[in-house]
Amino acid sequence: MTVALLAVGLGFHPAVGSGERAAQGLEVRLSADKPVYAPAERITLILQLVSRSNSAVILTFRDAQRFDVVLRDAQGREVWQWAAGRVFAQGLGRETLPPSGTLTYTVFVEQTLPPGVYSASGMITAREAMLTAHIVLRVEGH
C-alpha cells in the first residue's frame, strides 16, 4: 500500500496543513516528511507551533504532555492516537517561544493503515487554547 498526502490549508507544500491562529500570534502546522509512502514505510508527521509575535509567548500546560496527534478513518473513527497508552508526569508546565520562534514535535505513526482516506489532527495542548492543524492521508493498495 502507498500513503499519499492531500493538502489542507493555504500557501504551504502539499504535505502541510495549516491550523488555527490564536490571538497571541501563534500558528500550528502539521506536515509529513514526504508526499507518498511505499508499503510498510514508516509515516513521520511533524507538528510545529510557530510564533508570529514580536515578543516572547508563554504557554502553560496541565501536565508534561505538550501535544497529541490523532488519525481518523473516513467514517471519523479514531484509528491511532500518539498519546494513547502514554503516561505523562503530573504538574503544571510552561513553554516559552521566543519572538518568531518555533517548537517542533516529530511523531512516528506506529501502525500500518489499511487502504482508505484518513485525517490527521495535530494538537498543541496548552491551557490557553487547544490549537490544532489537520492534513488528509490517503493509503492506496496495489
Domain boundaries, the chain: 2-140
Q: What distance in Å separates the CA atoms of residue 80 and residue 124, rounded to the nearest whole number?
A: 17
- DSSP tag of 85: T
pLDDT confidence of residue 124: 94
What contacts 135, CB < 8 A, 6 or more positions away? 5, 6, 7, 8, 9, 15, 16, 17, 30, 31, 32, 119, 120
pTM: 0.79
What contacts 103, CB < 8 A, 6 or more positions away? 48, 49, 66, 95, 97, 124
CATH number of 2-140: 2.60.40.2360
pLDDT < 70 positions in the chain: 1-24, 36-39, 142
pLDDT confidence of residue 87: 87
